[in-house]
Structure 1
Amino acid sequence: MAKVYISGIIDAPVDKVWAYARDFNGHGEWHPLIAKSHVEDGLPSDQVGCVRNFTLTNGGHLRERLLSFSDLERRFTYNIIVSPMPIENYVATFGVKPVTEGNKTFVEWMAEFDVSPADEAGIKEKVGRGTFAEGIKALEKAVTARG
């Protein structure tokens, strides 16, 4: 099983970051890889079981199901149902915690998935650096632009 873990610091209070990031379908507003996104069946984006259906800027199509969600822990977990990547059993968790010195936010995004040995390095790079790290940078930009 392949594992990816990326973390970062956002220069904004944790409540502000979570208020923005908690929307499971909100990634279309701030993540540079997302062209368009919607939650299927009109369900709320914080309802466990809801499915976000989205298209990437490169034309790829994904569907992801929300497996758990906690405002108390400021964390959610989801899995991929449909992906253009050659992966299986993908489960990811996104969460934020307060950094008390400086009133900043610690962000962590991690995933585990099955992938062939031949594809593992490339997929880990795509998920880790290309999706998670770029997403954390873009989230900070979006949150701080809100003022």
Structure 2
Amino acid sequence: MGQIHLKQTFNHPADQVWAWLKDYGNIHRIHPMIGHSYIEGEQSCGVGAVRICEMNMGGFQLKERVLDWQENQSYTVDIYETTMPLMKRSLATFGVRAIEAETSEVYIDIEYTTTFGIFGKIMDALFMNPVMTVMMKRMFRKLDEFLSSSRQQSLDAPG
């Protein structure tokens, strides 16, 4: 089983970070590999919500369902259907913890299984895990950029 565990400190309050993370249907705004994402069905967030993610390259798609939702803290998704090669199934938790009033820690914990037995495990070690790790680090950077630009826009707004 492959695993990725990342965390990063942000100079933004946890509630502002959560506002971006909880926007379940719009993960494509902060995830660099997802070209488009959308909700399937009536439920936009919370346990049972389903989203479809269309990847930027390869025409790959994945379908995720929320298994756990802790408001203002975290959510866990089950990637239960995908056209991505080598990926069989994955659980991913996205969360935020307040450190201080203006500082928070964002974390991503991913556990996944690959297809093709030993070949899949070798490809995971050589390619898949390193690429997914870089992708998640880029997601942190993009999230920080959006939060910083949102903060700057509110500071620049006439008041």
- TM-score between the two structures when normalised by the length of structure 1: 0.88
Among 128, 136, 139, the residue aligned to 2:133: 128
Gaps of 5+ in 2: 115-119, 152-159
Q: Which has the larger radius of gyration?
A: 2
Count of paired positions? 143
Alpha-carbon offset, residue 128 of structure 1: 1.6
Q: Distance in 1 between matches of 2:69 and 2:132?
A: 21
Tell me the secondary structure at the aligned position of residue 141 of structure 2.
helix
Residue 110 (structure 1) aligns with: 109
Q: What is the RMSD of the two structures over their aligned residues, measured on CA atoms?
A: 1.6
Q: Distance in 1 between matches of 2:9 and 2:85?
A: 28
Corresponding letter in the other structure for 2:92: A
Q: Distance in 2 between matches of 1:30 and 1:18?
A: 13
- TM-score between the two structures when normalised by the length of structure 2: 0.82
Alpha-carbon offset, residue 47 of structure 1: 2.5
Moved segments of 4+, more than 6 Å: none
Residue 30 (structure 2) aligns with: 30
Sequence identity percentage: 22
Q: Distance in 2 between matches of 1:28 and 1:89?
A: 20
Cα shift readout 1:67-113 (whole Å, capped 9, x = no counterpart): 111115x100001122213122311111111122x721111101111
Q: Distance in 1 between matches of 2:10 and 2:27?
A: 16
Gaps of 5+ in 1: none
Between structures 1 and 2, the one with greater helix share? 2
